Amino acid sequence: MKRFPSWIVVALALTPASVWADCVGGTRPITTEERDFNRRLNESLRAALPAAPAPLYLESEPQVTVPAFACKDAPVGATDAIVMANYTASLNYSDRVGLKIRANYAFPTKDDLVLGTLPTKPAGFKVYNLVVSVDGYNAQYMEAVKQAVDRARLQAMIDQPLPATPPPVAWHVGKAGATASAPATAPASDAATASSAGSPASTTSPKTETEPAQPDVAQQTKDTVNKLRGLFGR
């Protein structure tokens, strides 16, 4: 049994039935080249999502919808895609902000951020425009997500070949971990040990060598006189 990549399965599950209804002449399987382009578009859109601005965090993995089939009358390589992410500050629905980025989308609203221009008859294997939509209830959180979107990174995808491997993502799922605490101060005993190891201290004063006693000159003279008297019998 042939298995599809996980991202194609997600695309099939998320693509509305209206997409298939638009194919008047029916659908066809995508080609190998289209599948590779869709994969790179999928990964590039996911990588372009911003990290959650505080106090928001990403609830779950972003979802990307890329058509797994094409209309029979559509040019080869003509495709669109959408990536969706949900940011939140709590479990309350009013604290959630939805972010959508659509590629090659022809129906933006006045509140959407539109980068690039989609031509009437776009050629295949190319990103012409990206449409950014932000939905939610908390105006402050919505504005924070809008400001977090990296417009320069999105702009770099338009009219340019998509990379085979996109840069690493800036986002992660879940709340940020606690910051690492500062290193503990070394105990006083350890500090003393280190100090003594660096500069050895002497606990006793250095011994002073005893100088030899000087001879008694007067006594030596007296002894010499007595010896001379003994020699002369006096």
Q: What is the pLDDT of residues 133-159, one digit of tens each?
A: 999 999 999 999 999 999 999 999 999
Higher pLDDT, 7 or 29: 29
What is the SS3 assignment for 166? coil
Token pair for 72 = 């029979």
Provide the whole-model pTM.
Answer: 0.66
pLDDT tier, 215 (very low <50, low <70, confident <90, very high otherwise): low
- What dihedral angle (degrees, nearest 10) is formed by the CA atoms of 82, 43, 128, 158? 130
Quote the CA–CA distance of 65 and 153 in Å, as a whole number: 20
Quote the CA–CA distance of 32 and 17 in Å, as a whole number: 24
pLDDT attached to residue 113: 97
- DSSP code of 94? G
pLDDT attached to residue 191: 45
**Is the pLDDT reported for residue 182 higher than 80?**
no
Pairing of strands 96-103, 81-88: antiparallel
DSSP character string of 99-160: EEEEES-S---TTSEEEE---SSPPSS---EEEEEEEES-HHHHHHHHHHS-HHHHHTTTTS
Phi (first) and psi of residue 27, to 5 degrees: -115, 165
State percent of the chain over pLDDT 70. 66
Phi (first) and psi of residue 12, to 5 degrees: -65, -40
pLDDT attached to residue 216: 59
pLDDT attached to residue 159: 93
